[in-house]
Structure 1
């Protein structure tokens, strides 16, 4: 048997949520006018759901509500990396209780104007992988 690291490994559900909680930028994948669309969003993990804010009238509000979406976040350095994908249903939070709970995540808008609406992705499936980069990739990155 070889002691070499495996190039990719499957992450547990707990590892996936821990890693998602460690970053603040991800990508929402949805459909706009019947075509795939991807939007970068800052987010927070709250109770094993993904929470983000959006403004009135954006494509995010009109297309994400009650639609199946994908959400992906990742991170890497020169040695390894990871990627987590959440498949779920996105919905705008409306009740006072939901909004009060979302406010506790202290999720701030990164851009002006302040994004007034919270959207929560309720997960149906969460998968993740960790990647160990080979010496060949390390050499390519170093050569830049």
Structure 2
């Protein structure tokens, strides 16, 4: 059986370098935060922004996310995964970026003022005044596209 993965119009996977991944996610939007919570593996959607190389998002104080991501140890940070993608189902194209790193609560007022510059506005109602920041340590991505057909 012939390999038709390179046939015209067939999807072409591409590994993205870190610079391209960061370019794709820099406008902000919605991503999925993954971590090991008190009830096991947890994945939640959050509105995010990118500020000074970090991913920033907001949640409510004393929310399950806040509680799960507090280590109880001063200056300790929790390891998380953060996934962002853009999909075009009609053409079966898109990209996906996975960021791994540590997340920390933004505690000082100076830091809070700085991360506010990311302009993150959560879609969910209610007070979401707690800022969290992910410092990326590993960034990977993939793009699926279709080459133009000869015509």
TM-score, with length taken from structure 1: 0.83
Secondary structure, in 3 states, of the residue corresponding to 1:22?
A: coil
The aligned residue for residue 80 of structure 2 is 69
Correspondence 1:63-142 to 2 at 5 A: 63-65=68-70, 66-77=77-88, 78-132=91-145
Paired residues of 2:27 and 2:49 also in contact (CA < 8 A): no
Paired residues of 2:46 and 2:122 also in contact (CA < 8 A): no
TM-score, with length taken from structure 2: 0.80
* Runs of 4+ residues over 6 Å off in structure 1: none
The separation in 2 between residues aligned to 1:76 and 1:26, in whole angstroms, is 13
* Farther-moved stretch of structure 1 (86-95 vs 72-81): 72-81
Secondary structure, in 3 states, of the residue corresponding to 2:137?
A: strand
Secondary structure, in 3 states, of the residue corresponding to 1:111?
A: coil
Q: State the aligned residue count.
A: 133
1:39 aligns with 2:44: yes
Structure with the bigger percentage of helix: 1
Q: Alpha-carbon deviations, 1:22-59, whole Å to 9, x = none?
A: 34000000111261100000000112211000001112
Structure 1 or 2, whichever has the larger Rg, is 2
Structure 1 residue 7 displacement after superposition: 2.1
> What stretches of structure 2 of length at least 5 have no aligned partner?
1-5, 71-76
Secondary structure, in 3 states, of the residue corresponding to 2:43?
A: strand
Secondary structure, in 3 states, of the residue corresponding to 2:79?
A: strand
> What stretches of structure 1 of length at least 5 have no aligned partner?
135-144
1:24 aligns with 2:29: yes
